[in-house]
Amino acid sequence: MNQRETLSRNPSDQQQPKIINSNYQFFILVLSLLSLIMMFLLLLLPNEGLSWEILNRVDNVICLIFLVDFTQKMYHAPNKAAYFLHQGGWLDLLSSIPFMSFLRILRLSRILRVLRDIRRLRSSDITRQLRERRAESSLLGMLLAFLLLLSVGSRLILVFEQSHPDATIQTAEEALWWTFVTMTTVGYGDFYPVTTSGRVLAVLVMTFGVGLFGVVTSYIAAAFLKQPANNPHELASLRAELASLRALLDAQRDREQAQRAEEPDKHA
């Protein structure tokens, strides 16, 4: 086996360490804690009440996020069977199924595993990732704020509007629809606040919506402009090949110098 083959094989044979995205791990941790708080509130609130219905629907949205998280972990897992059976994958799947609130307690397993991953990181690594991935951390933070505002805004608009005789927002579904449409600054006009408190809330929700889509736009722009990350193993291979070529060139130069030194002796 020649040196070039050895250099090209070594990087692929080495076991690459697991790369932990601290921004995403903190996002999953906070989202898991938020979902557990909502689970306890759903247990305390009367079934089929307006607050219960709003929290239940928002929790179903969180389930979809966790389902996407499970899918991407399953896809990227080196050993899918080991992840699903021995690393909590089946718990992630069960706790991500919408409309099955009794399985939400299984999210405790996700929280423990996320905390374990975060403990492996040094504070300098967390700070570096926050600095290098500012757009990503802002997007994840805004997504959490979006879910919180969707829950709180929907309940508040019902508190402000429900008792008014001319109110157009009377149900949990209408409140969620109005809050989402207002955050996206679309404003269909099918549902709208008629009280002063409701209109003040609408101003706050619209202001947040403008900031939300500003962050989304900046994240998309950063994704297009981001330079591809260099693979450390690939860089090591290229450096080794350059060193090998440099050694060959030095050896060739030494031979040429030796030949030039021998030529005068032959003529003499």
The residues of the chain scoring below 70 in pLDDT are 1-19, 48, 223, 226-233, 263-268
* pLDDT value for 230: 54
* pLDDT value for 4: 42
* pLDDT value for 6: 40
- Choosing from 132, 165, 180, the residue where a domain stops is 132
> Same domain, yes or no, for 100 and 142?
no
The beta-carbon contacts of 23-26 under 8 Å, at least 24 apart in sequence, are 23/129, 23/130, 23/133, 23/136, 23/137, 23/140, 24/136, 24/140, 25/114, 25/117, 25/118, 26/118, 26/140
Q: Residue 178 is part of a domain; what is its CATH number?
A: 1.10.287.70
* pLDDT value for 2: 44
Angle at 9 between CA 5 and CA 13, to 5 degrees: 160
In this structure, which amino acid lies at residue 29?
L
Number of domains making up the chain: 3
> Same domain, yes or no, for 153 and 50?
no
* pLDDT value for 264: 62
> Same domain, yes or no, for 125 and 138?
no
* pLDDT value for 200: 93
CB 191 within 8 A of CB 178: yes
Q: Domain containing 146: what range?
A: 134-226
- pLDDT tens, 148-189? 889 899 989 998 988 888 888 888 898 999 999 988 877 777
- pLDDT tens, 199-223? 999 999 988 888 887 777 777 777 6
Q: Is residue 88 one of the residues assigned to a domain?
A: yes
* pLDDT value for 201: 93
pTM over 0.85: no
> Same domain, yes or no, for 200 and 154?
yes
